C-alpha cells in the first residue's frame, strides 16, 4: 500500500535520557522495515530540565520534544528557557480554571518575545493523555504511541469507504508490528492533514464532490470521526478530526475567502474536530475577544465532555488586514482576519 506515513512516534517517560532516543530509533526502524515513512520522533516528559537538555542536543526536523501540561507558575519560572528551546512544546490546561486576562496575556507575551513559539503552545480542555500530537500530548504512563498522516492514504480512493478500509488495514499492520512491545500504548487515529492535495482533508472533501462551505452542513465530518473513533483497534489520545487552519493549505485558502471564521471552526469542532488549531491572530487583536473565545471553548468542552484545544499562531508583526510572513514550512501565509 502506498503513502503509509507516520506523522510521529512518541515515547512518554518520567525520566527522558539518550536511551529514550535510542528506543525511539529502534521503534522507528521496525516501521521503516515494513515500508512506512516516519516523519518525526518525539519524547514527552514532565521533567522540564531533562527535556530542555535533550532539546539543546538533539532537536531538529526529526527529533521533537514536549513537556505536556504545565502550570502557569512553572511557565513563568521557566519562561526564558522555554522560549529558548529549538523545538519543545507545552500546553496550559484550563479545563477547570477560572480563565482570566492573565491567561490571555501569556499568549500575547509569547507573540511579543518569541512569536515562533506560538506554534509550540496551546490551551487545552479535557485533554486525554498519551497523544503523540504536540502541543496537546502529555505524560500519564510509560510507553509509546503512534500518530499517522492518514489523509495521504486516500490518494487513489473514490469513496470514503475506500479510505476507511485503507486506514483500517494500516492500523492492523501497525498493531502487528508492535504486538510484542509491552510498552505499546496504541494509535491516535486522528486525521492529521497537511499541505495540499492528497495530504489535505479539504482536498479529500473536494475530491468527493463537495465544496467546503456546503460540506460543513453535511454528515461527512461526523462519518469520518465515527469511523476513526469506533474502528481503531487500539485507540489512545485524541482520536478526532484535526482542522489545522494554516497547516492544511487548502483550509488556509478557505480562511482567506472568509469561509473558515472562528464560529465555523468551533461548529465543526463540536461535530468532529478537536478545537482551534494553527489559527492566525493579529498582533493588534483585542485581548478581550481572545478571553471570550477561551471561556466559550472551556464551557463547550465541559458541556459536551469533549477534548478541545486552542492554538493561535502569530509571526509577531502582522496586524489584522495584513499578510503574514511566518517563515515556517508548515504554515501557509494568509491575510489575517479579526477574530
- Residue-wise pLDDT tens digits, 111-151: 999 999 999 999 999 999 999 999 999 999 999 999 999 99
The per-residue pLDDT for 326 is: 97
3-state secondary structure at position 243: coil
All three cell numbers of 134: 504536540
> Which residue bears the cell 494553527?
278
- CB-count burial class (<10 Å; 0-12, 13-18, 19+) for 5: buried
Residues 91-95 have a mean pLDDT of 98
Answer whether residue 24 shows pLDDT above 90: yes
pLDDT score at 1: 78
Q: How far apart are the first and last CA of the chain?
A: 42
Flag whether pLDDT at 287 surpasses 90: yes
Tens of pLDDT, residues 214-255? 999 999 999 999 999 999 999 999 999 999 999 999 999 999
User: How many other CB atoms are there within 10 angstroms of residue 313's CB atom?
Assistant: 26
The pLDDT confidence band at residue 100, using thresholds 50, 70 and 90, is very high
pLDDT confidence tier of residue 2, bands split at 50, 70 and 90? confident
Question: What pLDDT sits at residue 272?
Answer: 81
* Mean pLDDT, the chain, whole residue set: 96
Give, as one character, the DSSP assignment of residue 197: G
pLDDT digits (tens, 9 = 90+) for 316-333: 999 999 999 999 999 999
pLDDT-above-70 percentage for the chain:
100
Q: Is 307 helix (H, G, I), strand (E, B) or coil?
A: coil
Query: Grid coordinates standing for 76?
Result: 513563568
- Write down the pLDDT at residue 232: 97
pLDDT computed for residue 271 by the predictor: 85
Tens of pLDDT, residues 153-206: 999 899 999 999 999 999 999 999 999 999 999 999 999 999 998 999 999 999
- The whole-angstrom separation of Cα 304 and Cα 219 is 19
* pLDDT at residue 220 in the model: 95
160-177 and 220-230 helices, crossing angle to 10°: 20
Q: What is the pLDDT of residue 167?
A: 97
- Quote the cell numbers at residue 24: 525511539
Does pLDDT of 298 surpass 90? yes
- Local confidence band at 19 (pLDDT 50, 70, 90 cut-offs): very high
Please, where are the H alpha helices in the chain? 18-32, 48-58, 72-77, 79-84, 101-113, 160-177, 201-207, 212-215, 220-230, 249-256, 262-271, 287-304
DSSP string, 19-55: HHHHHHHHHHHHHHTTT-EEEEEEEE-S-HHHHHHHH
- Domain boundaries defined on the chain: 5-209+221-239
Amino acid at each position: 500500500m502506498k503513502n503509509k506515513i507516520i506523522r510521529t512516534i512518541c515515547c512518554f517517560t518520567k525520566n527522558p535520557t539518550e536511551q529514550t532516543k535510542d528506543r525511539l530509533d529502534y521503534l522507528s526502524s521496525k516501521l521503516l522495515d515494513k515500508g512506512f515513512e516516519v516523519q518525526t520522533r518525539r519524547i514527552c516528559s514532565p521533567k522540564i530540565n531533562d527535556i530542555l537538555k535533550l532539546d539543546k542536543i538533539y532537536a531538529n526536523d526529526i527529533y521533537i520534544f514536549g513537556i505536556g501540561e504545565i502550570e502557569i507558575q512553572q511557565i513563568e519560572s521557566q519562561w526564558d528557557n522555554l522560549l529558548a528551546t529549538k523545538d519543545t512544546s507545552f500546553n496550559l490546561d484550563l479545563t477547570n480554571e477560572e480563565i482570566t486576562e492573565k491567561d490571555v496575556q501569556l499568549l500575547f507575551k509569547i507573540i511579543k518575545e518569541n512569536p515562533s513559539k506560538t506554534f509550540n503552545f496551546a490551551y487545552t480542555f479535557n485533554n486525554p493523555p498519551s497523544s503523540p500530537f504536540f502541543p496537546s500530548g502529555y505524560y500519564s504512563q510509560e510507553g509509546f504511541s503512534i500518530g499517522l498522516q492518514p489523509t495521504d492514504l486516500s490518494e487513489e480512493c473514490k469513496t470514503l469507504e475506500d479510505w476507511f478500509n485503507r486506514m483500517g488495514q494500516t492500523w492492523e499492520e501497525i498493531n502487528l508490528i508492535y504486538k510484542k512491545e509491552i510498552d505499546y500504548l496504541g494509535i491516535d487515529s486522528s486525521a492529521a492533514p497537511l499541505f495540499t492535495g492528497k495530504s489535505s482533508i479539504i482536498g479529500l472533501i473536494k475530491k468527493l464532490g463537495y465544496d467546503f462551505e456546503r460540506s460543513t452542513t453535511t454528515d461527512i465530518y461526523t462519518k469520518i470521526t465515527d469511523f476513526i473513533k469506533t474502528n481503531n483497534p487500539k485507540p489512545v489520545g485524541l482520536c478526532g478530526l484535526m482542522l489545522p487552519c494554516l497547516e492544511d493549505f487548502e483550509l488556509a485558502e478557505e480562511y482567506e475567502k472568509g469561509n473558515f471564521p472562528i464560529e465555523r471552526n468551533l461548529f465543526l469542532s463540536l461535530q468532529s474536530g478537536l478545537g482551534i488549531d494553527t489559527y492566525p491572530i493579529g498582533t493588534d487583536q483585542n485581548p478581550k475577544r481572545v478571553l471570550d473565545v477561551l471561556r466559550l471553548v472551556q464551557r463547550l468542552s465541559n458541556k459536551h465532555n469533549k477534548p478541545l484545544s486552542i492554538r493561535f499562531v502569530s509571526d509577531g508583526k502582522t496586524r489584522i488586514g495584513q499578510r503574514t510572513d511566518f517563515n515556517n514550512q508548515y504554515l501557509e501565509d494568509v491575510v489575517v482576519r479579526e477574530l
